[in-house]
Copies of this chain bind each other. A is one copy, B any other.
Amino acid sequence: MSQRIKLEDVAKLAGVSRATVSRVINRRGYLSQRTILKVEQAMERLDYHPNVIARQMHSQRTNLIGIIVPTVGNPFFGELTAAMEHELFKKGYKVLVGDALNDPEKEQRYLRQLLGHQVDGLIIATHNANIPEYQNTNLPIVAIDRFLRSDIPVVYSDNYGGAKQACEALIQRGAKYIIHTDDLSPLNDQDTARRRAYEAVMKAHDRPAITYPSLPDPKQNREALQKIFIEHPEVDAIFTSNDLDAATLLDLAVENGYVVPDQLQIIGYDGTQTTQRLLPRLATVVQPIPAMAKKAIELLEAKLNQQAVPEEVVLSVNLKLGSTVKNYKINGEY
């Protein structure tokens, strides 16, 4: 419906064979100027667009890369997806996004469909467990922040290091009673890296380690975090595993009569562009989203070209200070 004209029509109008038209389109083989011109005029006149499907049929490649994320509605994954799309477009690929929505079943259905040659490669940035499809396929895959299989490379940012820096920054600023929040879906080592770093720093300074779970539902999460102030009124610092928790706690702090940062210091995690614009004052560990995207695509392309790739790549993070911690003017840039 949306496109009827085919190679043959162009060939007929130009008075050549289909093969010749194909050669002109792909600039392959020897062509005389005259035929090139004739063919191009014919294409122009007919407003011809090559049928991508038919081409793929032959090459068995789609130039499509699937990206599976929890949801592009989350700033971290939205920005990550955008950055990867940008890299991929430069290399001639288009992006098929799948929002897994923390729904393993959807992820699995999605994957099963993609496995039939709909994409040339896959980027996985979800944390759903037990998707057997990942184990059997030999589609080129790169994972972000998650181990899937021994021959699937993973791009991490330095979760342990970032969390360690954050916690030490709090201690250095006089925090005595530091609480942590964390998404508790520990599928692998990296998933718990931030918490392990927190616990290690607390231990090194002889302080108790108290971790509150971060819930997916905003309302429930708020209620759960509110308990911190009830159960640990002496809290004087919180290190959260993401910026959304930090924002909620910032708000709860006001409600509960804590002055930030004098009585309560807060450091978040992720540091997306969105957070930095919406909450410029928030101290947070900034993940290198553009670098992660670039590296992931680089690894994927290597796999697509059958080249060897490292098992994992770790990128360094950056502690951005802000007025939710003390002594900010001295150490911050702003």
Contacts and interface: CB of A to CB of B under 8 A. Distances in A.
Interface of A: 1-3, 47, 49-54, 56-57, 60, 62, 64, 71-75, 78-79, 81-83, 85-86, 89, 94-99, 101, 106, 110, 112-113, 115-118, 136-140, 218, 243-244, 247-248, 251, 273-281
How often does this chain occur in the complex, in copies?
Answer: 2
A38 to B, nearest CB: 21
B137 A2 contact: yes
A316 B16 CA distance: 57
A116 B52 CA distance: 5
A155 to B, nearest CB: 18
Given A2-B140, A244-B277, 13 more contacts: A3-B117, A52-B113, A53-B60, A72-B82, A86-B101, A89-B98, A96-B96, A218-B273, A243-B278, A247-B278, A247-B279, A274-B278, A278-B279
Contacts of A244: 277-278
Contacts of A243: 278
Nearest to A92: B113
From A113, A243, A248, A277, residue with most partner B Cβ within 10 Å: A277
A79 B86 contact: no
Contacts of A57: 53-54, 57
A118 to B, nearest CB: 4
Given A278-B279, A280-B251, A99 B85 contact: yes
Q: Which 3 A-B pairs have the closest CB atoms?
A: A78-B78, A73-B82, A49-B116
A86 B99 contact: yes
Contacts of A140: 2
A115 B3 contact: yes
A185 to B, nearest CB: 19
19 contacts: A49-B116, A53-B57, A72-B78, A72-B85, A72-B97, A75-B75, A82-B99, A85-B97, A85-B98, A85-B99, A89-B110, A94-B110, A94-B113, A247-B277, A247-B280, A248-B277, A251-B280, A275-B278, A278-B278
A78 B280 CA distance: 20
A53 B64 contact: no
Nearest to A78: B78
A199 B78 CA distance: 34
B49 A274 contact: no
A83 B74 CA distance: 12
